Chain A
Amino acid sequence: MIITTSKPFEEVLKALEGEDKVFIVGCGSCATTCETGGEEQVAEMKAKLEAEGKTVTGTVVYEEVCHELNTKRKFRENKEAVEAADGFLVMCCGAGTQSVREATEKPVHPACNTVFLGNIQRHGHFVEKCSLCGECVLEDFGAICPVTRCHKGILNGPCGGTDEGKCETSKEKDCGWTLIYNQLEKMGKLDRFRKIYGLKNWQANMKPGRVIFEKKGEGGE
């Protein structure tokens, strides 16, 4: 799940300066769960923009705005409203927003901040447990990620800032290395803690990432 938060409305309004006719795109996947770009939030945004004197030429909410072919298809389906718009407001993650970029030559504006790949703990509670490092080390650490859950991404044990199981950056956050230690101890695998981990290969998630599966077809449709 890609976790997003809503940008302040004033920031959105400023970005739309000079564009009176707006088309709004929401996402039926992550942004719906985050309540930043689902049907309800898109309707709210429409009303707020109209109250500011804007014309909303159309809205669309569909699964996976990040799917570029899907997005282009949705734009074709909503041709009239899309063509009438001066610009597009995208209420989902940065990937979705850039999907819209591929589908139009007109201005595209993000309505959200994209914060992390998150786990849902309960309604409205999201935490980061994986930071997409490209070379998964979970096998060695009892399926608890030190790259993400240790603030410093340390691979060889807790720093001196650990305090009764909490991180030096916040008493609200668990020390990832205390979690790993407890897990490995429970599993009788503390020998894994003793192993020295060499330097991490950051080439494995070099930006921009690109993966092509040769045999799985193109475009997924």
Chain B
Amino acid sequence: MTVLIKEHAKPSIQEILEAGKFLVTGEIGPPKGTDIDEMIEHINLLKDKVHAMNITDNQSSVMRYPSLGTAILIKELGGEPNLQVTCRDRNRLAIEADLLFAYTRGIRSVLCLTGDSIPVGDHKEAKAVFDLESVQLLQIIRNMEEGRDSGGNELKGGVKFFKGAIVTPEAIPIEPQMLKFEKKIEAGAQWFQTQAVYDMDNFKRFMEKARKISDKVYICCGLVLLTSPGQIKYMNANVPGVFVPEALAREMEDAPKEERLATGIRIMARQIRQCIDEKLCDGVHIMAIGKESVVPKILEEAGVDITKM
């Protein structure tokens, strides 16, 4: 079978994790439009600083340059993509077809998400698809790996992906989340990235519960860069499953305006260091949301150099 991209510039996420290394991933948010110069700059900046880059799929239900196209672009530029696939905009046929294509273009890791709801985005009158959801998407991929599509038809050449999923450690209530986490594993999830975590004590409690459910899956802590007191207030009030503790909020409030970004960098660097030093999890996922250019600085402050890990 011809797989168009056979040579991989970088080890895969699976190879890193299975080698017992601490995984460091970043995130690329594609632009709204065809001007991809800045995104290419971000990819070039990150490709040797992190093991792999997530590519968001019409993030927050805002229409953008596609995640699959960006994943291929990352490959072409010599990086390693982690393709995010949501179920909001495509039905089972479209998702399966995309996965066939992704596989032939050397995409090795897929993050399976249900997707945000349409009304939070910028196409509020669009019809939401949700023909599948994250658990079913994981199942579909497993079937495709066994050579069958979701209609039960035989594939002429299947796929093989390192199947990822997400979990929300700060969800209230947490019990249904943990049950769903368990179901995702049963459906085939091999590794997890968490939604944004700020409360490290809560994250520790979450990890204890998660490890009891499975000590086989890899879990990477999701971290979102804090940039201002306003952003913290907004997130605490409006972003479900995200809670910035009082102490961090105060640290940001106390910082002079010109040092806020530096404060956010310092906070995240400290969290990364804590994850590594206390062996809390198997990796971190850094979401700089528009501030990708500071990711090397965060890693430097955290004392993380993936070439030496």
User: Interface on A for B, CB 8 Å cutoff?
Assistant: 151-165, 168-169, 177-178, 181, 190, 193-194, 196-200, 202
Contact = CB atoms under 8 A, between A and B. Distances in A.
Contacts of A194: 179, 182-183
B119 interface: yes
Nearest to A152: B130
Contact of B133 (A152, A168, A178, A202): A152
Interface string B170-204: 01110111011011001100000001000000000
A79 B290 CA distance: 69
Contacts of A165: 173
B117 A151 contact: yes
B131 interface: yes
Contacts of B180: 156-158
Contact of A153 (B116, B130, B139): B130
Contacts of A198: 136, 139
Interface in B100-138: 114-117, 119-120, 128, 130-136
Given A168-B117, A169-B117, A162 B135 contact: no
A204 to B, nearest CB: 13
B241 A157 contact: no
A161 to B, nearest CB: 5
Contacts of A168: 116-117, 120, 240
30 contacts: A152-B88, A152-B115, A152-B117, A152-B128, A152-B130, A154-B114, A156-B135, A156-B180, A157-B177, A157-B183, A158-B177, A159-B134, A160-B168, A160-B240, A161-B241, A163-B172, A163-B241, A164-B172, A164-B173, A168-B120, A169-B120, A178-B173, A181-B175, A181-B176, A190-B179, A194-B182, A196-B135, A199-B131, A199-B132, A200-B131
Contacts, number: 94
Interface string B139-160: 1100000000010000000000
A199 B183 contact: no
Given A152-B114, A162-B171, 15 more contacts: A152-B130, A155-B135, A158-B171, A158-B176, A162-B240, A163-B172, A164-B172, A168-B240, A181-B173, A181-B179, A193-B179, A196-B139, A196-B183, A199-B150, A200-B131
A194 to B, nearest CB: 6
Q: Counting chain A CB atoms within 10 Å of each CB, which of B175, B177, B240, B241 scores highest?
A: B240
A159 B179 contact: no
Nearest to B92: A199
Q: Counting chain B CB atoms within 10 Å of each CB, which of A159, A190, A193 scores highest?
A: A159
A181 B173 CA distance: 10
Nearest to B177: A158
A169 B119 contact: yes
B117 A193 contact: no
Contacts of B173: 164-165, 178, 181
Contacts of A202: 131
Q: Counting chain B CB atoms within 10 Å of each CB, which of A152, A162, A169 scores highest?
A: A152
A159 B140 CA distance: 18
A190 B180 CA distance: 12
B232 interface: no
B68 interface: no
Contacts of A151: 117
A151 B119 CA distance: 10
